[in-house]
Structure 1
Amino acid sequence: MMNFGPIAALLVALAAQPALAQQDETRPRLRPADLTATAPAQAAPDVAAALAAAVATAAPEGEEGETAPREIALPKGPTRGPETNLPLPRFVSLSTDRGNVRRGPSLSHRIDWVFLRRDMPLQVTAEYGHWRRVTDREGVGGWMHYAMLSGVRSVIVDAETLLLRARPRPDAAVVAQLEAGVVARLGECEPDWCRLTAGGYRGWAPKTELWGVAPDEIRD
């Protein structure tokens, strides 16, 4: 009689692997990889086509084959963007689930990074045509087409644990507890506190524990 013990054990182990993998994928986590992927990476076909069409229709006239310069001088202090007349630097948010970050301000430049979290805050530091130079909380960045950015403001929790409070006071009741890396919608801001919305909860948090808002920024 054949001994099926080892074979049966192997089959049981193989059958259990998909279930374990599925469990890990559905477990809620927020890691750096959830926000940024490293190159080489390719744009999704619909995104690439949309950007190509936008750039083709909006690009200024020039010689055939002409490309944007590889390096753009960055502002050395608070100033206004040459394309939008908006302040530089300034905070924006990612308007898509997948945003390609390029080495230079054109589709001909390679993709260095891919941002993977819609609504994540980014800081615009320079403008060139329809392109914006952005950085994230970790200092990762490059050039993105303006169509991938939004003026809707958000912040990332920069503290290990953030207590969301009912009022802008350190002794106010705690509404919710947010972990480091959580992205929240930014509302009004006082000199030291900002009102956030995250996961269906709304409350106040100290500015010093957030990334995506300037220390002296006031919002109504």
Structure 2
Amino acid sequence: IVDATADAVCAFKPQIAHFAALGAEEALRHLIAHIHTLHPGVPVILDSKRGDIGSTAEHYATEAFDRYAADAVTVNPYLGRDSAQPFLDRADRGVIVLCRTSNPGSGEFQDALIDGRPLYQHVAERVARDWNGNGNCLLVVGATWPKELAEVRALVGDLPFLVPGIGAQGGDVEAVLKNGATADGDGLVISSSRAILYAGNGDDFADAARSAAITQRDEINHYR
């Protein structure tokens, strides 16, 4: 699937739990190495959503950036800056901070009001203002929340977003571009996973994935 879709995507985003649950961490490492070797222009985002105290976070950063050689990683900001600092210090790697996630229950805490504004807005502002000294931060803002996409974009300027929720989760591409893109029509890494991975279930699964990826790419570019 990687080889069939590499010229149609802007990044690959393997989810570490799907490999770890099967004891397949070495397969993940080899997959990322394969991408770097055969498709060096396509960055790899390790979707691990790590968040822990500083001493443990140092090991998580080493895991993501040294063991797996990921170009970027998703992190959970709930523990505060010291839990993200080992990632932020790697100025040559991307740190993608959860902000307004695409899952249906995300509002349970992310919508909690603090000083009259929802928590996700405070996260967005803090990351843009205080955490991005190396210029390597992005925010996760789900395609399933177009109104919130617009709100966060207004708060953080041109800070890039990773936008999950297109495809199987039902996010709308046109709404994502309208509400989340920068003035130049950029600033978005739009993620579609299951709709591409499982586009086919026969021997032609790679071709089916390629077709789905091209269709998704063309739809995104249509609304830019």
- TM-score norm. by structure 1 comes to 0.24
More helix by share: 2
Of Structure 1 and Structure 2, which has the larger fraction of its residues in strand? Answer: 1
